[in-house]
Structure 1
Amino acid sequence: MDVFERLKEAASADWSSYVDHDFVRQMGEGTLPAAAFRTYLVQDYLFLIQFARAYALAVYKGRSLADMRAAQRGLSAILDVEMDLHVRLCGRWGLTPAAIEAAPEHQATVAYTRFVLDCGMAGDLLDLHVALAPCVIGYAEIGRRLAPAGEAAWGDHPYREWIGEYAGAAYQEIAAQARAHLDGLAARSMTEQRFAELAGLFGKAARLEADFWQMGLDAAS
């Protein structure tokens, strides 16, 4: 069992509240209201701006070129892949990148992103990557769950493009690399006593992910 699986097991209730959230289920079923998805997309774009800063912080905190390159891959995935997806999808509602960036951050967005940045500023590289893991690795798990047979099996599903992005081979590889890097960091600096602290960070990040989904549902209610 790798460190990511151990963290999921230690924070199983928090993890389930995130990956089994009604937002995720409704998206998979194709019944998620468009207003909920639109609110989520705009806020997730703002979220990704702050997460890009977190990966830039990880570059700074890296003690080796391997650590710095791992963080750079995460930064590139956000700036060159995920944000482009959001721009394409938001463009269907006539939203330009400038309009998205001008949107106010919701409380759930502020709470989650500043928590991750605080973990990085106050802690070390392992603390930061544990706080990032529910997002970068969790989205890959959600993508696999929603599209076990791949994007092509979804036909004209309304959320096919989002699901396909995270279920696709390119993002799955990004998540696999992040997972392996987390294991490497833990091998260097994690004790069993520290694991309990890291599980607390991981559980908090998962709860904040669940709150982020809920924000989208609340906007459509």
Structure 2
Amino acid sequence: MTETLTGRLWESIDGIFKQILDHPFVQGLTDGSLEDDAFRFYVVQDALYLRDYARALAICGAKAPEEETVKMFCEHAAGAIAVERQLHEGFFRAFGLTEDEIRTTPMAPTNLAYTSYLLAVAYSGSFPEALGAVLPCYWIYWEVGKALL
């Protein structure tokens, strides 16, 4: 048994995390078999997601109890916006997408549900609750990214 809370949390989702790594989308990214349309859809939805995730991070910053934590969340919120802009300059151009097309694309239902949850918890919850809402994204993206390399 892992001694840390983080270790226990990871152990509790071991099966779910394996399913994430085995998902056809992640496998397609890994082996190069992902269809262009699927990647295009992901890039657009990720840009829409990052805009709301940045807002949730900024709210976490506003609720943070220490100045260093405020600073960190504000920097991470700015970083999410910077990543979205990099997507615009790179992938959007490669796919021939304009900013207007991205802005007018509706969020997929699961994306909308997730970002609505993040923002609702960030706005209405305490700092620990808001942190609990945004933390899984940090962890999962980091671990999936490591697995892709």
Relative to the length of structure 2, the TM-score reads 0.87
User: What percentage of residue pairs aligned between the two structures are identical?
Assistant: 27
Deviations 1:4-59, CA, capped at 9 Å, x for gaps: 33222123333333333221111100001110010011011111111011011112
Cα distance change on mapping 1:6 and 1:97 into 2, 3 Å: farther
Aligned equivalents of 2:70, 2:46: Cα separation in 1:
25
Letter in 1 for 2:57: Y
Aligned equivalents of 1:61, 1:19: Cα separation in 2:
33
Kindly report structure 1 stretches of 4+ aligned residues shifted beyond 6 Å: none
Aligned to 1:123: 125
Letter in 2 for 1:109: N
Letter in 2 for 1:57: I
Q: Trace 1:22-171 onto structure 2 (pairs within 5 A).
A: 22-80=24-82, 82-87=83-88, 88-147=90-149
What is the deviation of 1:133?
A: 2.1
Relative to the length of structure 1, the TM-score reads 0.61
What is the deviation of 1:128?
A: 1.8
Cα distance change on mapping 1:14 and 1:33 into 2, 3 Å: same
Aligned equivalents of 1:59, 1:108: Cα separation in 2:
25
Aligned equivalents of 1:78, 1:12: Cα separation in 2:
27
For 2:145, what is the secondary structure of its paired residue?
helix
Which blocks of at least 5 consecutive residues in structure 2 are unaligned? none
What is the deviation of 1:2?
A: 4.4
Aligned equivalents of 1:134, 1:61: Cα separation in 2:
18
Aligned to 2:21: 19
Which blocks of at least 5 consecutive residues in structure 1 are unaligned? 148-221
Letter in 1 for 2:99: P
What is the deviation of 1:131?
A: 2.0
Contact 1:119 1:128 in 2 (8 A): yes
What is the deviation of 1:140?
A: 1.8
Contact 1:19 1:138 in 2 (8 A): no
Aligned to 1:210: none
Aligned equivalents of 1:68, 1:43: Cα separation in 2:
27
Instruction: Compare relative contact order (CA 8 Å, sep 6+) and give the higher one, 1 or 2.
Output: 1
What is the deviation of 1:125?
A: 1.8
What is the deviation of 1:107?
A: 0.3
Q: Trace 1:176-195 onto structure 2 (pairs within 5 A).
A: none
Letter in 2 for 1:86: L
